[in-house]
Amino acid sequence: MGRGKLTEAGTALRLTVGNNVKIARERAGLSQRELCKITGISQPYLSQVENGTWNMALDNIANISAALGLAAHELLDPNFSSQPVGESSST
């Protein structure tokens, strides 16, 4: 597999993370612009991440999860969106 090519599993993970970021941001009551201001991430980048069209660097996962009061692994959890608001998978 060449550099930059995603497998089916990679694509699924990218979509999961993007969806989880969006859900967590909305649960926190933040707009994309507000989250970007907190994290220093650009709005076009965040939009692409949330739409699953761009890979997110681990540093950005850490920055976003910290800004949203989550553990970084929660953004990787395929079941995150089905958890009740305020319930962490690490509890």
pLDDT tens digit sequence for 4-57 = 566 888 889 999 999 999 999 999 999 999 999 999 999 999 999 999 998 889
Using CA atoms, how far apart are residues 68 and 70, in angstroms rounded to an integer?
A: 6
3 inside domain? no
84 inside domain? no
As for how many domains the chain has, the answer is 1
Look up residue 44 and give its amino acid: P
35 inside domain? yes
Look up residue 18 and give its amino acid: G
88 inside domain? no
44 inside domain? yes
* Positive/negative CA dihedral, 70, 71, 72, 75: negative
Range of the domain at 38: 9-77
- CATH of residue 58's domain is 1.10.260.40
What is the value of pTM for the model shown? 0.83
